[in-house]
A and B are shown apart, each in its own frame.
Chain A
Amino acid sequence: MTELHWLTASDIAAAYAARKLSPVELLEALLARIAKLDPTLHAFTQLDADFAMDAARLAEHELFAGRSRGRLHGVPIGIKDIFDVAGLRTTCNSKLMLDHVATHDAHVVARLRAAGAIILGKLGTHEFAIGGPSFDLPFPPPRNPWNPDHHPGGSSSGSGAGIAAGLFPIALGSDSGGSVRHPASACGIMGLKPTYGLVSRTGVAPLSFTMDHVGPMARSAADVALLLCAIAGHDSRDPGSVASDQKGFGDDLSLDMRGMRVGFVRHFHEQDLTADPEVHAALERVAETFAAEGATISTVVLPPLNEFAGVCRVILGAEVWPIHAERLRSRAGDYGQLSRQRLMAGAFLSADDYLRAQKRRSEMIAAVDEAFRRVDILLTASALAPPCRIEDADMLAATHQLQAWTPFNVTGHPAVSVMAGVSRSGLPLSAQLVAPAFRDSLVLKSAAVYERSIEWHSLRPPV
């Protein structure tokens, strides 16, 4: 059998079903790996090993008594530290929240518990999912397992680093401007920003109520689909939640690409911004892979990236400011510097700015929907450069906007970041696949086709 820490959630479910593995045995292996690697990687803000072991024993008892709750039963998972997990602190990696102990589970966490998943603990994040990576916060920033001197992406940094390092097979992240897809891209795993409204945000610290998404992260398309199955569904407590009839995301990931129409959005990385040459070449290889599978590739033009970025940041800034206004007036010193700067920007935006951004947003949604009249999926860049060194503040600032994630926070379409190679310096490269709204299953099937066609998903970081 593969080393236990590299088993996917799907592998684990199969091994449990065949009685070849027990939840306690798996958890012991993962806790040993966490003890070995996390002092360097800092994926966790809180590890709840005792609780996890109790849950593993219970899962073992239930599974071996034939009372399986489904394929996540007994599977360990990490939770970004902006989600409420009853009994644990929701720190948001902020001095302002260090004493905040959640009394209830976030909606998605409750669904995972009901499915029998084993919650390992809370994972590293930028402060309030916006201010980072920073060294002036309660917890140090997570490191990239491919090279701990480099940024693992953010803000779901611990989720990406921990999955890539084999500390756990699956995790939850959140994505308001790329915060699932950035760490997925930087750490060489898969991260999905689902369709807006498909997954509840109740119990998750908000940034932007019209652009926040909860997203699954894993090392395979099958695992992303498995996790999405568990967390998707209507929640009347989340005003953005949509009653969708999408079900069974992981039941069948097979897809015949013959006749599929792939729209390649080249201008994002060729004109609007300039991608690193290795990223450019990786994207061409992804297109060639789909073509070899029988898809037709055409060029699609969308609004320019900088317009998407402006709309995204104006809306996010305006929506996040009221959440933090009082504390920024009275306790500004308790924020990290990056959070302070980024959160206060909203104070200097007007209703006119917000409305103009929302108006342009409606045109952008229509433009992407129109593109989907001509193609089935979109292929775009994800990160436009490999992850930079984490202590190089100038490079972090310079590369902060070298990405193509914000368009789909603005439009709400489902978008997945997939690994697309390794740079000469040994760091992951990535691509992004996008589908029509509420066709999350199509974007995952396309990712699965790509995953099966290349060898990258079987590569592991040198940890």
Chain B
Amino acid sequence: MTGNTPDTQGTDEFLLGLIRAAGLEKTFAEFPADVFAAIRGATQERDKLPACRVDSA
């Protein structure tokens, strides 16, 4: 994920790869806006995560 906000105009191979990896091609064909909203939601929540060390206790 690039962290960029995707939109229906900006579909690229990277996003389609994510959708294929999730097995959501059929769902994407039926509900493209909802799949993009889900990607946007995941990106926004991930971006709220603070930097934290994961290599120590």
Contacts of A114 in B (CB 8 A): none
Contact A356 B45 (CB under 8 A): no
Per-residue A-contact encoding for B23-57, CB less than 8 Å = 1, 0 else? 11011001100110111011101111110111000
Report the separation of the CA atoms of residues A346 and B35 in the bound assembly, to the nearest whole angstrom: 11
- Nearest A residue to B26 via CB reads A329
Contact B24 A359 (CB under 8 A): no
Supposing A330-B26, A347-B24, A348-B1 touch, asked if A310 and B38 sit within 8 A by C-beta, the answer is no
CB distance from A305 to the nearest CB of B (A): 10
CB distance from A267 to the nearest CB of B (A): 15
Report the separation of the CA atoms of residues A328 and B38 in the bound assembly, to the nearest whole angstrom: 12
Per-residue A-contact encoding for B2-26, CB less than 8 Å = 1, 0 else? 0000000000000000100011101
Supposing A310-B48, A349-B42 touch, asked if A329 and B34 sit within 8 A by C-beta, the answer is no
- Nearest B residue to A321 via CB reads B22
- Nearest B residue to A348 via CB reads B42
Supposing A310-B47, A329-B27, A337-B34 touch, asked if A317 and B52 sit within 8 A by C-beta, the answer is no
A24 at the B interface (CB under 8 A): no
Contacts of A340 in B (CB 8 A): 27, 31, 34, 38
> How many interface residues does chain A have, given as a range?
20 to 34
Contacts of B18 in A (CB 8 A): 348
CB distance from A455 to the nearest CB of B (A): 39
Task: Label chain B's interface by main secondary structure.
Answer: helix
Contact A329 B54 (CB under 8 A): no
Contacts of B39 in A (CB 8 A): 345, 348
CB distance from B55 to the nearest CB of A (A): 10
Report the separation of the CA atoms of residues A356 and B48 in the bound assembly, to the nearest whole angstrom: 11
CB distance from B38 to the nearest CB of A (A): 4
Contacts of B47 in A (CB 8 A): 310
Interface residues of A in 288-328 (CB under 8 A from B): 303, 306-307, 309-311, 313-314, 317, 325, 328
Contact A332 B48 (CB under 8 A): no
A67 at the B interface (CB under 8 A): no
Report the separation of the CA atoms of residues A176 and B26 in the bound assembly, to the nearest whole angstrom: 29
Interface centre among B27, B35, B45 (most CB of A within 10 A): B45
CB distance from B40 to the nearest CB of A (A): 8
Report the separation of the CA atoms of residues A325 and B38 in the bound assembly, to the nearest whole angstrom: 13
Contacts of A353 in B (CB 8 A): 42, 46, 49
Contacts of A313 in B (CB 8 A): 41, 45, 48
Contacts of A355 in B (CB 8 A): 54
Enumerate the 9 nearest inter-chain pairs by beta-carbon distance, A residue then B residue, closest first.
A310-B48, A344-B38, A347-B22, A348-B42, A345-B41, A313-B45, A332-B27, A341-B37, A345-B42
21 contacts between A and B (CB under 8 A): A307-B48, A309-B48, A310-B46, A310-B47, A310-B48, A311-B48, A311-B49, A313-B41, A314-B45, A317-B45, A325-B23, A328-B24, A332-B30, A340-B34, A341-B41, A347-B22, A348-B42, A353-B42, A357-B49, A359-B53, A360-B52
B interface, CB within 8 angstroms of A: 1, 18, 22-24, 26-27, 30-31, 34-35, 37-39, 41-43, 45-50, 52-54
Q: A310-B46, A348-B22 are in contact. List 10 more A-B contacts (CB 8 A).
A: A313-B41, A314-B45, A328-B24, A332-B27, A340-B27, A342-B41, A344-B22, A345-B39, A345-B41, A359-B53
